[in-house]
Amino acid sequence: MDRRLLMVALACWSAGRLLAAEEAPPRPRHRISAAELYEALSARFPQRLPLAGLLQVQVSAPRLLLLPARNKLGAALQVEIAGLPAAQGMAAELEVVFGLRYEATDRTVRGREPEFLDFRWPGMDRESLRALQGLLPALAQQLGEVVLHRMSERELALPETMGFEPGELLVTDEGVTVFFRPKTAPPG
């Protein structure tokens, strides 16, 4: 009986190895650390942006937000508004999140489609806060696309030699992982 069990186990083991060998080979990947992402994001600030044509907004001091559950990256920004008497001497925090995409023309990983996530302004009266919250999605859109990383020739050399190009971008607790996929044939 033990001999039969051993024969079955050996047969299953060899069949399992054959099936595993038929799976796709592991794809190359490149990790972009949270520190690199923060450095790229910080380089864009401080910024002055008009808000509703009446107010000037100074946005600075970003804090990186990694949201793996949503596969998004974001920033918590310090916001000061000039031209609003109720806001003099007060600072707020605005959280914005981005989807990610790879732009092949300049080899960049970019944050795209900024989305207003949260707005906190301690000490601001409720009515003014609500009015400002209505204007914030437009402010988030003004941030536009954000270049987060430029892939170097060195980072792309081996995957390109293997016939791969950047594909899926995955946000993790440590940063962003770029998974490479087989190159697609150019149209035409």
Beta strand 29-33 pairing with 175-182: antiparallel
The residue type found at 82 is: A
What is the Cα 135 distance to its own chain's centre? 24
Checking if the pLDDT of 18 tops 50, the result is no
Q: Which domains does the chain have, with CATH numbers?
A: 31-182 (3.15.10.40)
What does pTM read for this prediction?
0.74
* Segment 103-116 mean pLDDT: 93
Say how many C-beta atoms besides its own lie within 10 A of residue 57's C-beta.
25
pLDDT band at 158 (very low <50, low <70, confident <90, very high): very high
DSSP string, 17-60: HHHHHHSPPPPPEEEEEHHHHHHHHHTT-SEEEEETTTEEEEEE
End-to-end, the C-alpha distance of the chain in Å comes to: 63
- Report the pLDDT value the prediction gives residue 83, as an integer from 0 to 100: 64
Higher pLDDT, 146 or 1: 146
For the chain, give the percent of residues with pLDDT over 90: 41
Residue range 51-69, pLDDT digits in tens? 666 677 788 878 999 999 9
CB 31 within 8 A of CB 25: no
